Amino acid sequence: MLVRTARTEEIEPAIRVVLGGGAMQVSEQHVQEFIAYARSRDIDLGGVWVCEQGGKIAQAMLPVVSPGRTMLLLSPPSLQGAVAEHQMKRLIEAACDAGRKKDIHLAQALVDPQEETLQRAYRSSGFLVMAELIYLTTDVRSNAAFPDLSPGLTWETYSPATHALFTQAIAASYHNSLDCPALNGMREMEDVVLGHKASGEFNPDLWFLLCEGRKPLGVLLLAVSGRNDLVELVYLGLAAEARGKKLGEVLMRQALAVTAHEHRQRLTLAVDSKNVPALKLYYRHGMSRIATKYALMKALGRGACA
């Protein structure tokens, strides 16, 4: 068994394994579409790792490095058998070692809850399940209206001048939050902001603070997707003192109206399954479940905060 990065001529076969593994057939069109997307997002396909056994690619993994010193490990959707589990464990450890040397602080993976063999490979490599993420979507009416704000409330959009306010608002929204609380303290706030910027196509006009005077009460981060019909709700959060005042409704109505204003048809998001208030908010606005994933994470270096 040999674990190494793929040679140039092996990149396409390796990506085919990442997309389907041995459990499903992956079309040439799917492979080429993924490669085109990866190149459009400056994802380093030359960094794909392979496990070679018997002169053939047995398993493969693609680390996707993001601003904010994080990386997402893209592995085959399923594994079968102890041999495949061991091969994947070797790939995970190699990718994490390489990431650590590049000053990556946090490694992440998204795994189907039913895929126990793949989960074991990550767990045995030091990954912990941080949350069960529920993926939601809704169709957005083209005439969705922007919310009316109560007196004293205003919107602020992102700019270098408001960067500190956004950072402050995101940090404040973490206090006693039910949204992936195990993540609190694992990353520096500047890395968190950079990570949010890397979600979808960053547009500062789609990042909003709901303020009372100059005090941020809530934050709403949206991004258009590479797909023409989608807006992603990257993050929605409220300061502790702003909760229970229907301000989540205001943020959600703003998200739907912005989606319509951008001439997009759907809004999507991911939410911690234990965040019951957020789930109730999203369901009230017509969102429905489309998938569930476990978010597994491992701290790699000195970037974790107390």
Q: Is 293 helix (H, G, I), strand (E, B) or coil?
A: strand
Residue 303 has what pLDDT? 41
* Pair 271, 278: CB distance under 8 Å: yes
Q: How many residues does the chain have?
A: 306
pLDDT cut 70: percent of the chain above it: 92
Give exposure, 88-107, as e/b (b: 16+ Cβ within 10 Å). Answer: bbbbbebbbeebeeeebbbb
pLDDT cut 90: percent of the chain above it: 74
Q: Model confidence over 90-145: pLDDT tens digits?
A: 999 999 999 999 999 999 999 999 999 999 999 999 999 999 999 999 999 999 99
Determine the average pLDDT of the residues in 161-178: 86
pTM: 0.86
Residue written as tokens 């399954």? Answer: 273
Q: Is 133 helix (H, G, I), strand (E, B) or coil?
A: strand
Gyration radius of the chain over CA positions: 20
Residue 15, CB-side half-sphere exposure with 13 Å CA sphere: 24
Residue 175 has what pLDDT? 78
Alpha carbons 249 and 72: distance in angstroms, whole number: 31
Q: Is the pLDDT of residue 179 over 70?
A: no
Residue 26, CB-side half-sphere exposure with 13 Å CA sphere: 19
Alpha carbons 246 and 244: distance in angstroms, whole number: 6
Residue 203 has what pLDDT? 95
Please give the domain boundaries of the chain with CATH numbers for all domains.
2-126 (3.40.630.30), 137-293 (3.40.630.30)
Q: Is the pLDDT of residue 20 over 60?
A: yes
In this prediction, residue 301 has a pLDDT band, given cuts at 50, 70 and 90, of: confident
Determine the average pLDDT of the residues in 187-214: 89
Give Cα 155 distance to the centre of its chain. 25
How many CB atoms are closer than 10 A to CB 193? 21
Residue 148, CB-side half-sphere exposure with 13 Å CA sphere: 2
